[in-house]
Amino acid sequence: MAAKPKSNTYESPLEKSFAKVVTPLEHFLHNETASGILLMIATIAALIMANTGLHHYYHDFFHTHINIGVAGRELDMTLHHWINDGFMTFFFFVVGLEIKRELLVGELSDMKAALLPIVAAAGGMIFPALIYAGLNPEGPGAAGWGVPMATDIAFAVGVMMLLGNQVPKTLITFLLALAIVDDLGAVLVIAIFYTEQLNMIALAWAGVFLAILVAFNIVGMRKSSIRVLVTIALWVAMLNSGIHATIAGVLAAFTVPCMPKVNARDFSDKIRYLIDKFDRLYNGRSVLLNNDKQRAVAMTMENVVTRVKSPLQSLEQTLHVPVAFIILPIFALANAGVVIDPASLGSVLTDPVALGIMGGLVIGKIVGITGLSLVAVKLGIGQLPAGCHPSHLVGVGLMGGIGFTMSIFIAELGFRGSAETLNVAKTGVLFASVFAGVAGYLWLKYMTPKPETVAAKAEGSASGH
Protein backbone atom coordinates (compact mmCIF):
# COMPACT_ATOMS: atom_id res chain seq x y z
CA MET A 1 0.00 0.00 0.00
CA ALA A 2 1.34 3.40 -0.97
CA ALA A 3 2.23 5.71 1.89
CA LYS A 4 -0.07 8.63 2.47
CA PRO A 5 1.56 11.76 1.00
CA LYS A 6 2.76 14.29 3.49
CA SER A 7 0.50 17.32 3.61
CA ASN A 8 2.02 20.73 3.00
CA THR A 9 -1.32 22.51 3.29
CA TYR A 10 -1.12 25.95 4.84
CA GLU A 11 -3.38 26.47 7.84
CA SER A 12 -4.08 29.70 9.68
CA PRO A 13 -3.36 29.78 13.43
CA LEU A 14 -7.04 29.40 14.44
CA GLU A 15 -8.23 27.41 11.40
CA LYS A 16 -8.60 24.04 13.15
CA SER A 17 -10.49 25.58 16.06
CA PHE A 18 -12.75 27.46 13.65
CA ALA A 19 -13.44 24.25 11.68
CA LYS A 20 -14.62 22.53 14.87
CA VAL A 21 -17.39 25.13 15.04
CA VAL A 22 -18.15 25.59 11.34
CA THR A 23 -18.20 21.92 10.27
CA PRO A 24 -21.04 20.88 12.63
CA LEU A 25 -22.89 24.04 11.57
CA GLU A 26 -22.57 23.03 7.89
CA HIS A 27 -23.96 19.59 8.69
CA PHE A 28 -26.82 21.24 10.58
CA LEU A 29 -27.65 23.55 7.67
CA HIS A 30 -27.89 20.62 5.24
CA ASN A 31 -30.08 18.57 7.54
CA GLU A 32 -33.78 18.49 6.61
CA THR A 33 -34.70 18.32 10.31
CA ALA A 34 -32.92 21.61 10.97
CA SER A 35 -35.09 23.44 8.45
CA GLY A 36 -38.23 22.09 10.14
CA ILE A 37 -36.97 23.21 13.55
CA LEU A 38 -36.32 26.74 12.29
CA LEU A 39 -39.77 26.86 10.67
CA MET A 40 -41.28 25.81 13.99
CA ILE A 41 -39.38 28.54 15.86
CA ALA A 42 -40.55 31.17 13.34
CA THR A 43 -44.14 29.95 13.65
CA ILE A 44 -44.07 30.10 17.46
CA ALA A 45 -42.54 33.60 17.29
CA ALA A 46 -45.30 34.74 14.91
CA LEU A 47 -48.01 33.29 17.17
CA ILE A 48 -46.54 35.01 20.24
CA MET A 49 -46.34 38.39 18.49
CA ALA A 50 -49.86 38.07 17.05
CA ASN A 51 -51.40 37.20 20.44
CA THR A 52 -49.61 39.62 22.79
CA GLY A 53 -49.12 43.34 23.13
CA LEU A 54 -46.78 43.13 20.13
CA HIS A 55 -49.75 42.54 17.85
CA HIS A 56 -49.91 46.09 16.45
CA TYR A 57 -46.14 46.26 15.84
CA TYR A 58 -46.27 42.86 14.11
CA HIS A 59 -49.19 43.89 11.89
CA ASP A 60 -47.82 47.34 11.07
CA PHE A 61 -44.34 46.01 10.27
CA PHE A 62 -45.49 43.47 7.68
CA HIS A 63 -47.94 45.96 6.17
CA THR A 64 -45.26 48.59 5.61
CA HIS A 65 -45.28 49.69 1.97
CA ILE A 66 -42.06 49.26 -0.01
CA ASN A 67 -41.68 51.00 -3.35
CA ILE A 68 -39.15 49.71 -5.90
CA GLY A 69 -38.54 51.11 -9.38
CA VAL A 70 -38.40 54.42 -11.16
CA ALA A 71 -41.07 57.04 -11.77
CA GLY A 72 -43.85 55.59 -13.86
CA ARG A 73 -42.46 52.03 -13.52
CA GLU A 74 -42.87 51.36 -9.83
CA LEU A 75 -43.87 48.33 -7.82
CA ASP A 76 -45.54 49.45 -4.60
CA MET A 77 -46.46 46.55 -2.30
CA THR A 78 -46.55 45.83 1.40
CA LEU A 79 -43.69 43.85 2.95
CA HIS A 80 -46.14 40.97 3.43
CA HIS A 81 -46.92 41.13 -0.29
CA TRP A 82 -43.23 41.27 -1.25
CA ILE A 83 -42.58 38.16 0.85
CA ASN A 84 -45.49 36.15 -0.57
CA ASP A 85 -45.14 37.25 -4.20
CA GLY A 86 -41.41 37.96 -4.33
CA PHE A 87 -39.37 35.94 -1.83
CA MET A 88 -41.52 32.86 -2.30
CA THR A 89 -40.65 32.89 -6.01
CA PHE A 90 -37.24 31.54 -4.94
CA PHE A 91 -38.99 28.74 -3.07
CA PHE A 92 -41.06 27.86 -6.13
CA PHE A 93 -37.92 28.08 -8.28
CA VAL A 94 -36.31 25.38 -6.11
CA VAL A 95 -39.56 23.37 -6.25
CA GLY A 96 -39.37 23.60 -10.05
CA LEU A 97 -35.75 22.43 -10.03
CA GLU A 98 -36.67 19.48 -7.79
CA ILE A 99 -39.60 18.50 -10.02
CA LYS A 100 -37.44 18.66 -13.16
CA ARG A 101 -34.65 16.61 -11.55
CA GLU A 102 -37.09 13.98 -10.30
CA LEU A 103 -38.69 13.70 -13.73
CA LEU A 104 -35.29 13.34 -15.44
CA VAL A 105 -33.18 11.19 -13.11
CA GLY A 106 -35.07 10.72 -9.84
CA GLU A 107 -37.82 8.43 -8.58
CA LEU A 108 -40.26 9.85 -11.13
CA SER A 109 -38.03 9.11 -14.13
CA ASP A 110 -38.95 5.40 -14.07
CA MET A 111 -42.69 5.15 -14.71
CA LYS A 112 -42.94 1.74 -13.02
CA ALA A 113 -41.31 3.04 -9.83
CA ALA A 114 -43.15 6.37 -10.10
CA LEU A 115 -46.66 4.92 -10.33
CA LEU A 116 -47.14 4.39 -6.58
CA PRO A 117 -46.08 7.90 -5.45
CA ILE A 118 -48.10 9.41 -8.33
CA VAL A 119 -51.22 7.46 -7.32
CA ALA A 120 -50.62 8.32 -3.64
CA ALA A 121 -50.14 12.03 -4.39
CA ALA A 122 -53.25 12.13 -6.60
CA GLY A 123 -55.30 10.53 -3.83
CA GLY A 124 -53.75 12.90 -1.31
CA MET A 125 -54.97 15.87 -3.34
CA ILE A 126 -58.38 14.65 -4.53
CA PHE A 127 -59.85 13.31 -1.26
CA PRO A 128 -58.91 16.34 0.92
CA ALA A 129 -60.44 18.65 -1.70
CA LEU A 130 -63.63 16.54 -1.79
CA ILE A 131 -63.96 16.52 2.00
CA TYR A 132 -63.47 20.29 2.13
CA ALA A 133 -65.91 20.92 -0.73
CA GLY A 134 -68.48 18.67 0.95
CA LEU A 135 -68.39 20.86 4.07
CA ASN A 136 -68.12 24.15 2.14
CA PRO A 137 -70.15 23.69 -1.05
CA GLU A 138 -70.85 27.42 -1.36
CA GLY A 139 -70.43 30.74 0.36
CA PRO A 140 -67.23 32.59 1.35
CA GLY A 141 -65.47 29.38 2.38
CA ALA A 142 -65.92 27.63 -0.98
CA ALA A 143 -62.69 29.10 -2.38
CA GLY A 144 -60.55 27.22 0.13
CA TRP A 145 -60.85 23.74 -1.39
CA GLY A 146 -57.19 23.85 -2.49
CA VAL A 147 -55.87 24.52 1.04
CA PRO A 148 -55.90 20.91 2.38
CA MET A 149 -54.49 19.50 -0.87
CA ALA A 150 -50.92 20.58 -0.10
CA THR A 151 -48.15 18.85 1.84
CA ASP A 152 -45.22 20.72 3.40
CA ILE A 153 -42.20 18.75 2.18
CA ALA A 154 -39.71 20.38 4.60
CA PHE A 155 -41.80 19.66 7.70
CA ALA A 156 -42.95 16.19 6.62
CA VAL A 157 -39.47 14.94 5.71
CA GLY A 158 -37.99 16.69 8.75
CA VAL A 159 -40.35 14.87 11.13
CA MET A 160 -39.64 11.53 9.44
CA MET A 161 -35.88 12.15 9.63
CA LEU A 162 -36.24 12.42 13.42
CA LEU A 163 -37.01 8.68 13.42
CA GLY A 164 -33.56 7.88 12.04
CA ASN A 165 -33.01 4.17 11.34
CA GLN A 166 -36.41 3.25 12.79
CA VAL A 167 -37.97 3.66 9.34
CA PRO A 168 -36.66 2.31 6.01
CA LYS A 169 -34.73 4.83 3.90
CA THR A 170 -36.96 3.83 0.99
CA LEU A 171 -39.96 5.20 2.90
CA ILE A 172 -38.33 8.66 3.05
CA THR A 173 -37.61 8.41 -0.69
CA PHE A 174 -41.25 7.49 -1.29
CA LEU A 175 -42.44 10.48 0.76
CA LEU A 176 -40.08 12.79 -1.15
CA ALA A 177 -41.35 11.55 -4.52
CA LEU A 178 -44.96 11.86 -3.33
CA ALA A 179 -44.33 15.40 -2.06
CA ILE A 180 -42.73 16.42 -5.38
CA VAL A 181 -45.84 15.26 -7.28
CA ASP A 182 -47.97 17.02 -4.65
CA ASP A 183 -45.97 20.23 -5.20
CA LEU A 184 -46.53 19.96 -8.95
CA GLY A 185 -50.26 19.54 -8.31
CA ALA A 186 -50.27 22.56 -5.99
CA VAL A 187 -48.47 24.67 -8.61
CA LEU A 188 -51.07 23.73 -11.24
CA VAL A 189 -53.94 24.44 -8.83
CA ILE A 190 -52.51 27.89 -8.02
CA ALA A 191 -51.90 28.70 -11.69
CA ILE A 192 -55.29 27.51 -12.96
CA PHE A 193 -57.81 28.00 -10.16
CA TYR A 194 -56.34 30.80 -8.04
CA THR A 195 -55.82 33.20 -10.91
CA GLU A 196 -57.34 36.66 -10.93
CA GLN A 197 -58.63 38.35 -14.11
CA LEU A 198 -56.03 37.80 -16.82
CA ASN A 199 -54.07 40.67 -18.34
CA MET A 200 -53.39 39.24 -21.80
CA ILE A 201 -50.72 41.83 -22.70
CA ALA A 202 -48.69 41.05 -19.55
CA LEU A 203 -49.24 37.33 -20.16
CA ALA A 204 -47.94 37.72 -23.71
CA TRP A 205 -44.82 39.45 -22.40
CA ALA A 206 -44.35 36.60 -19.92
CA GLY A 207 -44.50 34.21 -22.88
CA VAL A 208 -41.84 36.24 -24.70
CA PHE A 209 -39.46 36.19 -21.72
CA LEU A 210 -40.03 32.46 -21.20
CA ALA A 211 -39.31 31.87 -24.90
CA ILE A 212 -36.05 33.83 -24.51
CA LEU A 213 -34.99 31.56 -21.62
CA VAL A 214 -35.75 28.50 -23.75
CA ALA A 215 -33.85 30.03 -26.69
CA PHE A 216 -30.80 30.48 -24.45
CA ASN A 217 -30.63 26.68 -24.14
CA ILE A 218 -30.90 26.20 -27.90
CA VAL A 219 -27.99 28.57 -28.65
CA GLY A 220 -25.95 27.42 -25.64
CA MET A 221 -26.22 30.71 -23.76
CA ARG A 222 -25.49 30.00 -20.09
CA LYS A 223 -24.37 33.38 -18.74
CA SER A 224 -26.13 33.53 -15.39
CA SER A 225 -26.33 37.33 -15.10
CA ILE A 226 -28.38 37.64 -18.32
CA ARG A 227 -30.61 34.71 -17.28
CA VAL A 228 -31.29 36.43 -13.96
CA LEU A 229 -32.32 39.68 -15.71
CA VAL A 230 -34.71 37.84 -18.06
CA THR A 231 -36.14 35.84 -15.12
CA ILE A 232 -36.81 39.08 -13.21
CA ALA A 233 -38.60 40.43 -16.30
CA LEU A 234 -40.63 37.19 -16.45
CA TRP A 235 -41.57 37.63 -12.77
CA VAL A 236 -42.71 41.25 -13.30
CA ALA A 237 -44.81 40.19 -16.29
CA MET A 238 -46.40 37.35 -14.30
CA LEU A 239 -47.07 39.73 -11.40
CA ASN A 240 -49.12 41.91 -13.74
CA SER A 241 -50.73 39.03 -15.66
CA GLY A 242 -53.22 37.90 -13.03
CA ILE A 243 -51.50 34.50 -12.62
CA HIS A 244 -49.66 34.34 -9.29
CA ALA A 245 -46.15 35.72 -9.68
CA THR A 246 -44.46 32.78 -7.95
CA ILE A 247 -45.37 30.56 -10.94
CA ALA A 248 -42.58 32.46 -12.73
CA GLY A 249 -40.13 30.64 -10.46
CA VAL A 250 -41.37 27.23 -11.59
CA LEU A 251 -41.37 28.21 -15.28
CA ALA A 252 -37.85 29.63 -15.06
CA ALA A 253 -36.63 26.50 -13.25
CA PHE A 254 -37.85 24.29 -16.08
CA THR A 255 -35.60 26.22 -18.50
CA VAL A 256 -32.43 25.67 -16.44
CA PRO A 257 -30.06 23.38 -18.41
CA CYS A 258 -29.75 19.89 -16.99
CA MET A 259 -26.82 18.77 -19.13
CA PRO A 260 -23.25 19.82 -18.21
CA LYS A 261 -20.97 21.37 -20.85
CA VAL A 262 -18.37 18.62 -20.25
CA ASN A 263 -19.29 14.93 -19.95
CA ALA A 264 -17.74 12.60 -17.38
CA ARG A 265 -15.28 10.91 -19.77
CA ASP A 266 -14.01 14.18 -21.24
CA PHE A 267 -13.73 15.60 -17.72
CA SER A 268 -11.52 12.70 -16.65
CA ASP A 269 -9.29 13.05 -19.73
CA LYS A 270 -8.96 16.83 -19.40
CA ILE A 271 -8.22 16.74 -15.68
CA ARG A 272 -5.54 14.04 -16.14
CA TYR A 273 -3.95 16.10 -18.93
CA LEU A 274 -4.03 19.27 -16.82
CA ILE A 275 -2.59 17.52 -13.75
CA ASP A 276 0.32 16.20 -15.84
CA LYS A 277 0.86 19.69 -17.25
CA PHE A 278 0.62 21.16 -13.74
CA ASP A 279 3.34 18.77 -12.52
CA ARG A 280 5.63 19.57 -15.46
CA LEU A 281 5.42 23.29 -14.69
CA TYR A 282 6.59 22.85 -11.07
CA ASN A 283 9.45 25.28 -10.42
CA GLY A 284 10.46 24.16 -6.94
CA ARG A 285 8.20 26.60 -5.14
CA SER A 286 5.11 25.30 -3.34
CA VAL A 287 3.05 28.49 -3.61
CA LEU A 288 1.25 29.22 -6.91
CA LEU A 289 1.73 32.92 -6.27
CA ASN A 290 5.29 32.41 -7.55
CA ASN A 291 4.32 30.36 -10.63
CA ASP A 292 2.10 32.13 -13.17
CA LYS A 293 1.94 29.16 -15.57
CA GLN A 294 0.93 26.70 -12.86
CA ARG A 295 -1.66 29.15 -11.57
CA ALA A 296 -3.16 29.42 -15.07
CA VAL A 297 -3.46 25.62 -15.27
CA ALA A 298 -5.14 25.54 -11.84
CA MET A 299 -7.66 28.12 -13.02
CA THR A 300 -8.37 26.02 -16.11
CA MET A 301 -8.96 23.00 -13.83
CA GLU A 302 -11.44 25.05 -11.81
CA ASN A 303 -13.27 25.98 -15.00
CA VAL A 304 -13.44 22.33 -16.14
CA VAL A 305 -14.78 21.26 -12.72
CA THR A 306 -17.49 23.92 -13.00
CA ARG A 307 -18.41 22.83 -16.53
CA VAL A 308 -18.82 19.15 -15.57
CA LYS A 309 -21.55 20.04 -13.06
CA SER A 310 -25.19 20.14 -14.15
CA PRO A 311 -26.46 23.74 -13.83
CA LEU A 312 -29.78 22.34 -12.57
CA GLN A 313 -28.25 20.41 -9.67
CA SER A 314 -25.70 23.12 -8.90
CA LEU A 315 -28.45 25.72 -8.56
CA GLU A 316 -30.58 23.38 -6.45
CA GLN A 317 -27.68 22.79 -4.05
CA THR A 318 -26.74 26.47 -3.96
CA LEU A 319 -30.28 27.67 -3.18
CA HIS A 320 -31.18 24.94 -0.66
CA VAL A 321 -29.73 26.71 2.38
CA PRO A 322 -31.01 30.29 1.69
CA VAL A 323 -34.49 29.00 0.81
CA ALA A 324 -34.75 26.59 3.74
CA PHE A 325 -33.14 28.83 6.35
CA ILE A 326 -34.06 32.36 5.26
CA ILE A 327 -37.02 32.50 2.88
CA LEU A 328 -39.30 29.84 4.42
CA PRO A 329 -38.79 31.04 8.03
CA ILE A 330 -39.48 34.63 6.91
CA PHE A 331 -42.65 33.40 5.16
CA ALA A 332 -43.71 31.58 8.35
CA LEU A 333 -42.98 34.65 10.47
CA ALA A 334 -45.08 36.85 8.16
CA ASN A 335 -48.00 34.44 7.66
CA ALA A 336 -48.34 32.22 10.74
CA GLY A 337 -49.41 35.07 13.04
CA VAL A 338 -52.84 33.60 13.72
CA VAL A 339 -54.91 35.37 16.37
CA ILE A 340 -56.10 32.69 18.79
CA ASP A 341 -58.78 33.78 21.24
CA PRO A 342 -59.38 31.00 23.82
CA ALA A 343 -62.94 32.23 24.32
CA SER A 344 -63.81 31.77 20.64
CA LEU A 345 -61.45 28.89 19.80
CA GLY A 346 -64.27 26.36 19.98
CA SER A 347 -66.38 28.22 17.44
CA VAL A 348 -63.34 28.76 15.18
CA LEU A 349 -62.44 25.05 15.13
CA THR A 350 -66.06 24.08 14.42
CA ASP A 351 -66.33 26.57 11.58
CA PRO A 352 -66.93 24.71 8.26
CA VAL A 353 -63.73 26.23 6.83
CA ALA A 354 -61.55 24.96 9.71
CA LEU A 355 -63.38 21.60 9.78
CA GLY A 356 -62.92 21.21 6.03
CA ILE A 357 -59.20 21.93 6.27
CA MET A 358 -58.60 19.70 9.31
CA GLY A 359 -60.76 16.91 7.89
CA GLY A 360 -59.00 17.19 4.55
CA LEU A 361 -55.47 17.26 5.93
CA VAL A 362 -55.98 14.47 8.46
CA ILE A 363 -58.72 12.15 7.16
CA GLY A 364 -58.49 13.03 3.46
CA LYS A 365 -54.74 12.51 3.30
CA ILE A 366 -54.91 9.11 5.03
CA VAL A 367 -57.77 7.91 2.82
CA GLY A 368 -56.16 9.32 -0.33
CA ILE A 369 -52.49 8.48 0.24
CA THR A 370 -52.75 5.28 2.28
CA GLY A 371 -56.01 3.96 0.82
CA LEU A 372 -55.15 4.46 -2.86
CA SER A 373 -51.57 3.23 -2.33
CA LEU A 374 -52.80 -0.05 -0.80
CA VAL A 375 -55.36 -0.47 -3.59
CA ALA A 376 -52.64 0.16 -6.19
CA VAL A 377 -50.37 -2.45 -4.56
CA LYS A 378 -53.25 -4.93 -4.38
CA LEU A 379 -54.04 -4.44 -8.07
CA GLY A 380 -50.39 -4.72 -9.05
CA ILE A 381 -50.25 -1.14 -10.34
CA GLY A 382 -47.44 -0.32 -7.92
CA GLN A 383 -45.31 -2.07 -5.36
CA LEU A 384 -44.39 -1.27 -1.79
CA PRO A 385 -41.00 0.40 -1.38
CA ALA A 386 -38.32 -2.15 -0.47
CA GLY A 387 -38.27 -2.98 3.25
CA CYS A 388 -41.66 -1.37 3.89
CA HIS A 389 -44.78 -2.85 5.46
CA PRO A 390 -48.35 -1.70 4.58
CA SER A 391 -48.56 -0.07 8.02
CA HIS A 392 -45.75 2.29 6.98
CA LEU A 393 -48.11 3.81 4.41
CA VAL A 394 -50.46 4.84 7.22
CA GLY A 395 -47.56 6.85 8.67
CA VAL A 396 -46.93 8.47 5.29
CA GLY A 397 -50.64 9.30 5.03
CA LEU A 398 -50.46 11.05 8.39
CA MET A 399 -47.23 12.88 7.47
CA GLY A 400 -48.93 14.06 4.29
CA GLY A 401 -51.36 15.95 6.51
CA ILE A 402 -48.63 18.42 7.47
CA GLY A 403 -49.81 21.19 5.17
CA PHE A 404 -48.27 24.27 6.79
CA THR A 405 -46.25 26.34 4.26
CA MET A 406 -48.09 25.43 1.06
CA SER A 407 -51.52 25.26 2.74
CA ILE A 408 -51.07 28.69 4.32
CA PHE A 409 -49.84 30.02 0.98
CA ILE A 410 -52.96 28.78 -0.83
CA ALA A 411 -55.16 30.08 2.01
CA GLU A 412 -53.64 33.53 1.48
CA LEU A 413 -54.71 33.34 -2.16
CA GLY A 414 -58.19 31.90 -1.55
CA PHE A 415 -59.18 34.23 1.28
CA ARG A 416 -57.21 37.36 0.38
CA GLY A 417 -60.28 39.57 0.73
CA SER A 418 -61.51 38.19 4.07
CA ALA A 419 -59.20 38.55 7.08
CA GLU A 420 -61.60 36.72 9.41
CA THR A 421 -61.99 33.67 7.14
CA LEU A 422 -58.23 33.65 6.49
CA ASN A 423 -57.56 33.55 10.23
CA VAL A 424 -59.98 30.61 10.61
CA ALA A 425 -58.28 28.81 7.71
CA LYS A 426 -54.78 29.33 9.14
CA THR A 427 -55.96 28.09 12.55
CA GLY A 428 -57.26 24.93 10.90
CA VAL A 429 -53.96 24.45 9.03
CA LEU A 430 -51.88 24.86 12.20
CA PHE A 431 -53.98 22.50 14.33
CA ALA A 432 -54.18 19.86 11.58
CA SER A 433 -50.45 20.06 10.81
CA VAL A 434 -49.45 19.67 14.47
CA PHE A 435 -51.83 16.72 14.92
CA ALA A 436 -50.67 15.06 11.68
CA GLY A 437 -46.99 15.50 12.53
CA VAL A 438 -47.27 14.16 16.09
CA ALA A 439 -49.61 11.31 15.09
CA GLY A 440 -47.41 10.35 12.13
CA TYR A 441 -44.27 10.32 14.27
CA LEU A 442 -45.88 8.20 17.00
CA TRP A 443 -47.42 5.79 14.47
CA LEU A 444 -44.13 5.17 12.66
CA LYS A 445 -42.24 4.87 15.94
CA TYR A 446 -44.54 2.48 17.79
CA MET A 447 -46.99 0.91 15.32
CA THR A 448 -44.75 -0.21 12.46
CA PRO A 449 -42.21 -3.06 12.28
CA LYS A 450 -38.55 -2.11 12.24
CA PRO A 451 -36.69 -2.38 8.91
CA GLU A 452 -34.69 -5.41 10.05
CA THR A 453 -37.91 -7.23 10.98
CA VAL A 454 -39.42 -6.64 7.54
CA ALA A 455 -36.15 -7.75 5.90
CA ALA A 456 -36.02 -10.93 7.99
CA LYS A 457 -39.60 -11.84 7.07
CA ALA A 458 -38.87 -11.18 3.38
CA GLU A 459 -35.83 -13.48 3.52
CA GLY A 460 -37.84 -16.17 5.29
CA SER A 461 -40.58 -15.93 2.70
CA ALA A 462 -38.06 -16.13 -0.15
CA SER A 463 -36.29 -19.17 1.32
CA GLY A 464 -39.67 -20.86 1.88
CA HIS A 465 -40.30 -20.71 -1.86
User: What b/e sequence results for 226-262 when a residue is b if at least 16 CB atoms lie within 10 Å of its CB, and e otherwise?
Assistant: ebeebbebbbbbbbbbebbbbbbbbbbbbbbbbebbb
3-state secondary structure of 429: helix
* Other residues' Cβ atoms within 10 Å of the Cβ of residue 219: 7
Q: What residue type is 448 in one-letter code?
A: T
pLDDT reading at 105 higher than 90: no
User: What b/e sequence results for 267-278 when a residue is b if at least 16 CB atoms lie within 10 Å of its CB, and e otherwise?
Assistant: beebbeeeeeeb
Mean pLDDT of 168-177: 88
User: What b/e sequence results for 151-165 when a residue is b if at least 16 CB atoms lie within 10 Å of its CB, and e otherwise?
Assistant: bbbbbbbbbbbbbee
Say how many CA atoms lie within 13 Å of 156 toward its Cβ: 32
d(CA 347, CA 343): 9
pLDDT reading at 357 higher than 80: yes
Mean pLDDT of 234-240: 94
Q: What angle do CA 251, 361, 59 make, to 5 degrees?
A: 70
Q: Which of 86, 150, 68 is nearest to 368 (CA)?
A: 150
Class of the 32-84+93-193+334-453 domain?
Answer: mainly alpha
Mean pLDDT of 272-295: 82
pLDDT reading at 463 higher than 60: no
Residue-range domain boundaries for the chain: 32-84+93-193+334-453, 267-307
Region at 2 (left for phi over 0; alpha for psi -120 to 50; beta for the rest): beta
Most confident of 108-112, 294-298, 313-317, 428-432: 428-432
How is 111-152 classified by DSSP, letter by letter? HHHHHHHHHHHHHHHHHHHHHHHHH-SSSGGGGGGGGGG---
pLDDT reading at 457 higher than 80: no
